[in-house]
Each structure stands twice: as structure tokens, then as C-alpha cells.
Structure 1
Amino acid sequence: MKRFLGLFVVLLGLGLAQSPGVGVYSGYPTYLGAQFQSDTLRFGVGLSYFGVAGDAALILQKNPLQSGELPMSWYYGAGLGAGIYWGGGFLVYPHGLAGVELRLPDPAINPYFEVQLGVSFANFSVFLPHFAGRLGVILR
């Protein structure tokens, strides 16, 4: 357990050593959220149709896309989210993610689109497929 915590702290430190940014996003099921993101690590919290949710994601790979004159990249990663229902109960959802990001140089505004696929554990008794979509912007 100590090694796992140590590895987590090192990964967190590496993620925060990159250029940080803050942003907003909307989508399903979170219709309004805010986030903090470095190049590899992202934390978000927002309001959903069902309650309040938050997640942490690690971007595992980011590659440039050949898209003419627009500087774009695609990425994939893994994340873990949790939410609290308005009527009571909770949800935990590990997921994979993939997205496309447009990197505008000046001002440093990065719009992105992302999809997430995983499994939802509702109250640790009901297992359901998890799907989420996100459209957002990051200010660096």
C-alpha cells in the first residue's frame, strides 16, 4: 500500500510539473463543470442531471493530427469518477477516454471533444455500462 501511495504521489507531481490550465466543460451526464488540467493530469467537478460528480483522469498518450493549418492532437487515457445522486446514493465509474484537442497559440485557448467508456458501480451493488461525452475549453 505504501508503494502504491508513493507511486501515486510521484505521478501526481509529474503531472503538475507541466503547463497547467483551467477550463469549463459541458456534456452528458455532467452538463456544467470546471476543471484543472496539466499536460497529463486533469481534475474536474460539475453538476450532472443526477447530482454532483467529480473525476480525475490521466492522459496516457497525446499525438498530433494532420489537419491542414489547424494545430490539433488526439489523446487517450484512463480516469476514475464518482458522483452523488440528488435523491441519495452514489456512483463510482472507472473509464477509458479518448478525445481531440485544438491547440490555439495566442491566446492559449484549447477547445476539445472527448468520449468516455467504462463501468458504473451504483451503490456498489448495480453494475452498468458507463458512457459520457464532453465538449470543453481549457485556458493555459
Structure 2
Amino acid sequence: MESLQAPGTGMAVILGVMLLFGNLIALYAVRAAIQGRITPETMAGIRTNATRATPAAWEAAHRAAWPWALPLNGLGAVGGIAVMVTGTSVAPFLAAAGFAIVCTIAGALAQVIVGHRAATRELDRAR
């Protein structure tokens, strides 16, 4: 680790802000879709063929995804804050960045997988 250099406060803040706001926007989008403020016609939300098929499938997908999005994207946002404050040291910065990025990706994948499955179940019930 002696040969590695810390990214510095500026770069840490830029990365941390991106992670923080990206995760907060993901949480907002899922919550807004549940409340009906984001619809299948918009560019936000869980967008698969099954989720956009009917309003009931859209809502079911986002309701099912919320319990996954809240902890994973919430932890990703907290990790973004940790990235911002650890920019002057290598190991803590790398640990915080890795944690935040893994939580962000896991949140996105979980939302798509769980949401699509819930929408598919809703469509099967409607048939």
C-alpha cells in the first residue's frame, strides 16, 4: 500500500457525490413509482416488458423491489458519504468505494430481478 496514493479530497468528493445521489435517485424512483408519480410512460423506474404491460404489474414490480432497494441503495448512499470522508487515505477509501459500488450494483440488479418476477406473477394472475 505504500506505493499507492490517496485520490485526494476533490476526487473523493466527486465519486462520493455520484454514489450518494445515484443511490438516492434510485430510492426516489422506486418510491415515486409506488405512489403513482412515475408511470410506465416515463423514463424512470423498473423498465422491462412485464413491468410496463399494465399499471398493476408496474405497481407490483415496484412494491416488490422496495424492500430490496431500501437497504441496498441506502447502504450505497451511506457508502458514498464514507467515500467522501476517506479520500486522504488509501485503504479506507478503497474499502468505502468498493462497499458503496457493490451495494449500488446489488440494489440495481435486485430491483430488476425482483420487480420483473413480481410483474410477471401479476400478469399471470390477470390471465
State TM-score, norm by structure 2.
0.23
Higher RCO, Cα 8 Å, sep 6+: 2
Structure 1-normalised TM-score? 0.22
Instruction: Return the index of the structure with the highest Cα Rg.
Output: 2
Structure (1/2) with the larger strand percentage? 1
Query: More helix by proportion, 1 or 2?
Result: 2
